[in-house]
Amino acid sequence: MHELSIAMSIIAMAEEEARQRGVQVNAVHLKLGSLSGVVKEALLFSYELACEGTLLEGSRLLIEEVPTVVYCPDCQAERTLASIQRFYCSVCDSPASEVVQGRELEVVALEIQQ
């Protein structure tokens, strides 16, 4: 369960922005890859807990889930994986281990209010 420390990092980051800009943060928009090793539900739960007593108290965490995309060397094309249990091209079934997308754990935007 490392989601609590991840949530605390997200909050620290957003608090820093809130202070610098002198604004209130209503919501944090996060991109979460299916290969990030972070569980969405656990992160949402931790976020709410970790927000208490901070500038982010009462804010929402909005998570955009990002599927894992690999590069297929045989097709020379990017393919979205149906499951991270199988790193094979969805078209030609060749092994495809080069990850193009899916490791994201990134704050992309903040909804702020003066």
Partner 1 sequence: MSTPPRLVEVRQKVLKQNDLLARSLRQRFHDAGIYVVSLVSSPGSGKTMFLEKTLSRLHEQYRVAALVGDLATENDAARLARSQAPVKQIITGTVCHLEASMIERALEGWNLDELDFLFIENVGNLVCPSSYDLGEDFRLVLMSVTEGEDKPLKYPTIFNTADAAVITKIDLAEAVEFDALTANNNIQSVRPGMQVFEVSAKTGAGVEPFLQYLESRFAELRRDSRGGRAAHY
Out of 15, 17, 48, 78, the only residue in the binding site for partner 1 (CB under 8 A) is 17
> Beta-carbon neighbour count of residue 43 at 10 Å?
23
- Cα angle 23, 26, 31 (rounded to 5 degrees) comes to 115
Residues 48-107 that bind partner 1 (CB under 8 A): 84-88, 95-97, 99, 105-107
Helix (H, G, I), strand (E, B) or coil at 29: strand
Nearest Cα residue to 34 out of 89, 81, 88 = 81
Out of 26, 49, 64, 77, the only residue in the binding site for partner 1 (CB under 8 A) is 26
45 in contact with partner 1 (CB under 8 A):
no
Nearest Cα residue to 34 out of 82, 78, 84, 80 = 84
To partner 1, the closest distance from the beta carbon of 53 in angstroms equals 19
Which of 53, 108 has the CB closer to partner 1?
Answer: 108
Q: Which residues bind partner 1 (CB under 8 A)?
A: 1-2, 5-6, 9-10, 13, 17, 21, 26, 29-30, 35-38, 84-88, 95-97, 99, 105-114
